[in-house]
């Protein structure tokens, strides 16, 4: 893993850092199937703090609620609902976080991911964030297409509703989002409005309106009351199963089968076990793709973060860019005038020509220039267009060629009857017909005679 420090590049102009950054730029430009994994670090510049930094959310929670929170992670654990004091702190914090998200704006890193999608380079983005800034920048986060957008009169459209398009989702929210709330009993979802955010900040869980309506109806008809659920954020906490886990797993498997040639990991501390496993699987797939395609500069795994990765990641990442995520992506142009290739060759990135072709596979010695600019066939002359007499194929033996009749000659040469042919001819005898059949045949062939009796 090569380390590239952006501060050294801007201050001293380090040659090694500049060379490594040029290789990273070439990898981004040469990529055609890119995967992106993001963490809380990409939203810091929008006003939303991260989790594990000295100024992150975990440290702020410990300072704000010293009597209730001993570890900031405990506030994002599913076991908090067993403690009434932790529940009040959780709802109060979620109301404040929702207010921060409403004020936040998309960062240059979000715009960079959107540009990858617009240029057809992005396979998918997997984000650990719950701020839904990927959705604001224009990346689709839903798993299925909205039924209102599909014409219900078309039978093909009706079938399309029942089947999910795995390319429809452009950004997968691995931990849910704060745009919606869900009931703990009936699982009814409703938008996280500003009014509900104010109720959350008071530390009181708001009741589910659907459950309240059902409770009123049951009271009118004289039925006994049931438990009424409360609304909670539609996010995935620690020690909690993801409701869309199987669907996300199928999307991940589908993306790995599409042979990604670039993986960019931005703004994550690499602490979540599921994220660590996903990054390692994608890294192996990207490196295997580099061996197959042999595209210049492709097949790289890039990690962008302020802090260094933990031990054991040297064989996973090819480049570690240490610094601000927004500063790093501004140095990574998605398209350039020329994409530098091996051996001093170049190929236009705007031409749409894929450097990898069947000719290159069959003839690896052929240069990229020969593939991108194939030689033009010369205009055929009058002599070359004249018809030429067809010659006999060279695969025939000489004896067979000599025995064939030449065009324009007379009768073909007579075949000599050999002794073997006489023996075969004499051995072929006509089948013998019994005498009874011969008489019957002669009887049928005789003409009818006149009757002697008078008519």
Percentage with pLDDT > 70 across the chain: 66
Task: Give the three-class secondary structure for 98.
Answer: helix
Helix H, strand E, coil C: the string for 229-277 is CEEEEEECCECCCCCCHHHHHHHHHHHHHCCCCEEEEECCCCCCHHHHH
Question: What H or E segment, with its residue span, contains residue 337?
Answer: none
Angle at which helices 84-103 and 194-201 pack, to 10 degrees? 140
In the prediction, which pLDDT does 343 show? 34
Angle between the N-to-C axes of helices 245-257 and 273-293, in degrees from 0 to 180, rounded to the nearest 10: 20
The verdict on whether 175 is a catalytic residue reads yes
The model's confidence at residue 339, banded by pLDDT at 50, 70 and 90, is very low
Between 128 and 9, whose confidence is greater? 128
Task: Give the percent of the chain with pLDDT over 90.
Answer: 35
Choice among 175, 194, 287, 327 that is catalytic:
175
Q: Which residues pair with 2 in a beta bridge?
A: 319
Kindly report, residue by residue over 14-27, the tens digit of the pLDDT: 677 888 888 999 99
Mapped onto helix, strand or coil, the DSSP state of residue 181 is: strand
Sign of CA dihedral 440, 441, 442, 443: positive
pLDDT tens digits for range 180-222:
999 999 999 999 999 999 999 888 899 999 999 998 888 888 8
CA distance 295 to 354: 9
pLDDT, tens digit (0-9, with 9 covering 90-100), for 394-422? 444 444 444 444 454 555 555 555 555 55
How far apart CA 72 and CA 53 sit, in angstroms, is: 12
Which pLDDT score is estimated for 416? 54
pLDDT in tens, 135-172: 999 999 988 876 555 444 454 544 444 456 888 899 99
Contact assessment for residue 185 and residue 227, using Cβ atoms and an 8 Å cutoff: yes
Q: Is the pLDDT of residue 109 over 90?
A: yes
Q: Which of the two residues, 297 and 137, has the higher pLDDT score?
A: 137
In Å, what is the CA distance from 224 to each residue of 210, 220, 329, 412?
A: 17, 10, 60, 110
* Residue 319 near residue 6, CB atoms below 8 Å: no
The mean pLDDT value of the chain amounts to 75
Between CA 239 and CA 105 the distance in angstroms is 31
Alpha-carbon gap, residue 123 to 35, rounded angstroms: 6
């Amino acid at each position: 893993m090569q380390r590239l420090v952006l501060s050294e590049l801007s201050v001293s102009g380090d040659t090694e850092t500049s060379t490594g950054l040029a290789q990273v730029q070439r990898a981004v430009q040469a990529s055609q199937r890119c995967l992106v994994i993001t963490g809380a670090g990409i939203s810091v510049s929008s006003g939303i703090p991260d989790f594990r930094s000295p100024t992150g959310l975990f440290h702020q929670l410990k300072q704000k609620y010293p009597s209730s929170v001993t570890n900031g992670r405990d506030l994002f654990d599913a076991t908090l609902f067993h403690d009434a004091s932790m529940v009040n702190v959780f709802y109060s914090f979620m109301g404040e976080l929702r207010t921060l998200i409403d004020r936040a704006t998309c960062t240059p890193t979000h715009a960079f991911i959107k540009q990858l999608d617009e240029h057809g380079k992005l396979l998918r983005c997997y984000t650990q964030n719950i701020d839904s800034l990927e959705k604001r920048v224009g990346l689709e986060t839903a798993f299925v297409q909205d039924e209102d957008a599909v014409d219900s009169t078309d039978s093909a459209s009706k079938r399309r509703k029942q089947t999910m398009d795995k390319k429809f989702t452009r950004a997968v929210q691995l931990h849910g989002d704060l745009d919606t709330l869900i009931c703990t009993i009936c699982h009814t979802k409703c938008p996280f409005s500003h009014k509900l955010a104010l109720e959350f900040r008071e530390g009181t869980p708001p009741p589910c309106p659907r459950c309240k309506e059902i409770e009123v109806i049951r009271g009118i008809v004289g039925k006994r009351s049931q438990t009424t659920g409360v609304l909670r954020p539609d996010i995935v906490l620690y020690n909690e199963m993801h409701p869309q886990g199987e669907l996300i797993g199928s999307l991940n498997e589908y993306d790995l089968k599409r042979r990604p040639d670039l993986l960019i990991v931005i703004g994550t501390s690499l602490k979540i076990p599921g994220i660590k496993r996903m990054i390692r699987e994608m890294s192996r797939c990207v490196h295997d793709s580099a061996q197959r395609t042999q595209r210049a500069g492709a097949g790289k795994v890039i990690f962008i973060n302020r802090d260094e990765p933990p031990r054991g990641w040297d064989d996973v990442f090819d480049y570690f860019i240490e610094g601000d995520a927004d500063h790093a992506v501004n140095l990574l142009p998605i398209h350039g005038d020329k994409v530098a290739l091996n051996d001093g060759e170049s190929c236009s990135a705007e031409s749409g020509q894929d450097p990898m072709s069947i000719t290159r596979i069959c003839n690896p010695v052929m240069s990229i220039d020969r593939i991108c600019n194939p030689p033009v066939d010369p205009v055929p002359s009058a002599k070359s267009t004249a018809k030429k007499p067809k010659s006999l194929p060279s695969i025939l033996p000489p004896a067979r060629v000599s025995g064939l009749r030449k065009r324009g000659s007379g009768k073909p040469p007579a075949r000599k009857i050999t002794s073997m042919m006489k023996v075969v001819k004499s051995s072929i005898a006509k089948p013998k017909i019994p005498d009874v059949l011969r008489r019957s045949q002669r009887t049928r062939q005789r003409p009818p005679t006149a009757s002697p009796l008078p008519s």
